[in-house]
Amino acid sequence: MEKTLILLKPDAVQKSLIGQIIDRFERKGLKIAWIKMMKMSQALIEEHYDFLMDKPFFPRIATYMSSGPIIAMCLEWADAVKVVRQMCGATNPAEATMWTIRWDYAKNIDNNIIHASDSPETAEKELNRFFNVSTEFFEYKRTLID
C-alpha cells in the first residue's frame, strides 16, 4: 500500500465540495488513512510552496491558501500517488481531462481545488509536513473491504 497527501484547498471547503470529492476517492477504493481540517500558517504555505517562491504568482498562492480552512488527508492504495494525480487532473483546470476533479470543480489555475503529492518521495515529506507522525499517526484495517 502506498500513501499520498491530499489537500482540499480553501475553495473546495467554501464551495461545500468536501463530501463529493472524498466520495470519489472512496468509490475508487482508496482508504482514508488520516484526515483533519486545519488552517495553513504563512510559514507552512512558504514551506509547502517553497519551489514557487520566486514566481510572480506566489503572492496569489499565499493569499488563496490562507483564505480559509483546508482538509488534509492521507490516502492509501496500491499506486495511490499516480491514481490520485490522474483523478485530480492537470494543474490548470482548462487543460484537465474531462470528468477529473479539477475539470469538474475548479474555476482556474489560481483556484484549482486540490493538491496531491507528485511522487512517493514527495508524499512522505509532505505527510510529515502536515501530520505529526508521533501524535497523529495510527494504522487501521478496513476489515470489511481489504
Could you list the active site residues? 115
Q: How far is the CB of 49 from ligand GDP (least distance, A)?
A: 6
- CA-to-CA dists, residue 128 to 3, 27, 49, 60, 100, angstroms: 12, 26, 15, 25, 27
Type of residue found at 83? V
Find the part of the chain contacting ligand GDP (CB under 6 A) among 15-23, 39-47, 52-60, 73-81: 52-60
64: enclosing H helix or E strand: helix 58-65
> Using the rule CB under 6 A, is 100 a contact of ligand GDP?
no
- Bridge partners, residue 116, by sequence: 6
Q: What is the CA radius of gyration of the chain?
A: 15
State how far the Cα of 124 lies from the Cα of 136, in Å rounded to an integer. Answer: 15
Fill in the per-residue mask, 54 to 83: x = in contact with ligand GDP (CB under 6 A), - = not in contact. Answer: ---x--xx----------------------
Min dist. Cβ of residue 36 to ligand GDP (A)? 20
What is the nearest approach in angstroms of ligand GDP to the Cβ of residue 48? Answer: 9
In the complex, the residues that contact ligand GDP under the rule CB under 6 A are 52, 57, 60-61, 91, 109-110, 112, 115, 118
